[in-house]
Amino acid sequence: MERPFVVDNLEVATVAEGGGELVITGPREACTMLRFSEGDLALAVQRVFGKPLRIRFIEGAAAVSVQSNASMRRRSDTEGEVVQRAMADPAVKSFRETFPDAEIRQVRNLKE
> What would the pLDDT profile of 63-105 be if each residue is shown by its tens digit?
444 444 444 444 444 667 777 888 888 888 888 888 887 777 7
Domain range for 60 is: 4-98
| pLDDT greater than 80 at residue 40 | yes
> Is residue 15 a part of any domain in this protein?
yes
User: How many domains is the chain built from?
Assistant: 1
pLDDT of residue 94: 85
Residue 20 counted as domain residue: yes
Alpha-carbon torsion (81, 72, 67, 7), positive or negative? negative
Residue 14 domain-assigned?
Answer: yes
pLDDT of the residue at 68: 40
Non-local (6+) Cβ contacts of 48 within 8 A are 91, 94, 95, 98
Average pLDDT value for the chain: 77
pLDDT: which is higher, 40 or 112: 40
- 103 lies in a domain? no
pLDDT at 66: 42
Establish if 107 belongs to a structural domain: no
